[in-house]
């Protein structure tokens, strides 16, 4: 049988809560301490490539500029440019408060969301996520907190980050509204979500998967071997990305992003670069031509074995 070398479809948009969101998201976890002028340059660059889904969290800035500082810096930008707010789909996360470390109780998630709104200088966020599962709060109580936030108008939709499939299902059992978003770690190097049911569940439940660390902390762009990684295995993956990058006359990071975009779950990679030029260049991922054999070749290089 002749191999099917048809190019995989990569769309630029997908639906979320009745709106259209770009297939790239801009992540603000490194935004803390950034002057508002530079924040504006980065958000403008993101919007220029259709990345209107903006991801942040209460914890971003902790250990550096300070807890909540990434939201505060983004809030300064919104304060200066309030007209831009309606162009954005704003996602934030709560539930991590060192040294607890996690608390998803009704009172805590409510207070976390309200504090985020003040820092962000907005009256609502589009999606509020529980950042990590709190093993000491029952799913029924966490669901009650999320439901109340939606009922209050402070939040349009809710979701989870770093949840297993069973944890996600358990939370959904107690919710009278559908979860909208799930955020797993996912890249051509960290492929666990492909096999643990996360993306399968996202498709059946209608969840938008936002992939954090889609370039493996930048390693897939720089080629620097991640700490503790198998150097030969990682080198094989970089080689495969480079092969396809050369064929497409593009960068390996665009190929790595395209690999995620080509998956049928409609993954939205969260890019976190602090360079406006690199934000704009990430849009090259939409122009990558990749067929089924190319896609599996990247996965096989990452796993270090052929598919059975």
Q: Residue 212 contacts by C-beta under 8 Å, 6 or more apart in sequence?
A: 27, 55, 161, 183, 184, 185, 186, 270
Name the active-site residue from 26, 60, 102, 163.
Answer: 60
* Closest to 23 measured CA to CA, from 304, 197, 282, 295: 282
- Are 160 and 137 contacting, i.e. CB atoms less than 8 angstroms apart? no
Three-state DSSP at 78 gives helix
Tell me the C-alpha distance between 231 and 234, whole Å. 5
Tell me the C-alpha distance between 163 and 172, whole Å. 12
* Token reading at 290: 């990749």
CA distances from 191 to 12, 42, 131, 186 (A): 22, 28, 20, 6
Question: Catalytic: 60?
Answer: yes
* Token reading at 115: 């504090």
Q: Among all residues, which ones are annotated catalytic?
A: 60
């Amino acid at each position: 049988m002749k191999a099917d070398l048809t190019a995989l479809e990569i769309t630029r948009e997908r639906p979320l809560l009745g709106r259209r969101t770009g297939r790239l998201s801009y992540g603000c976890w490194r935004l803390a301490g950034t002057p508002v002028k530079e924040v504006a340059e980065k958000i403008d660059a993101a919007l220029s490539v259709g990345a209107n889904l903006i991801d942040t969290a209460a914890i971003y800035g902790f250990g550096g500029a300070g807890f909540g500082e990434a939201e505060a810096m983004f809030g300064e930008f919104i304060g200066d440019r309030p007209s831009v707010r309606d162009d954005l789909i704003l996602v934030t996360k709560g539930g991590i408060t060192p040294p607890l470390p996690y608390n998803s109780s009704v009172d805590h998630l409510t207070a976390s969301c309200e504090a985020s709104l003040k820092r962000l200088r907005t009256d609502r966020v589009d999606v509020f996520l529980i950042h990590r599962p709190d093993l000491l709060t029952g799913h029924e109580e966490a669901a009650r907190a999320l439901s109340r936030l939606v009922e209050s108008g402070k939040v349009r939709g809710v979701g989870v980050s770093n949840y297993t499939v069973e944890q996600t299902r358990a939370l959904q059992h107690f919710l009278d509204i559908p979860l909208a978003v799930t955020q797993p770690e996912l890249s051509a190097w960290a492929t666990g979500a492909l096999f643990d049911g996360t993306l399968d569940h996202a498709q059946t439940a209608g969840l938008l998967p936002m992939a954090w660390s889609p370039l493996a902390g930048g390693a897939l762009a720089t080629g620097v071997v991640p700490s503790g990684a198998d150097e030969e295995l990682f080198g094989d993956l970089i080689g495969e990305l480079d092969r396809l990058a050369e064929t497409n006359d593009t960068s390996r990071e665009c190929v790595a992003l395209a690999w995620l975009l080509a998956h049928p779950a409609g993954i939205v990679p969260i890019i976190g670069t602090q360079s406006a030029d690199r934000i704009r260049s990430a849009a090259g991922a939409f122009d990558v031509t990749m067929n089924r054999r190319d896609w599996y070749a990247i996965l096989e290089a990452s796993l270090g074995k052929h598919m059975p």
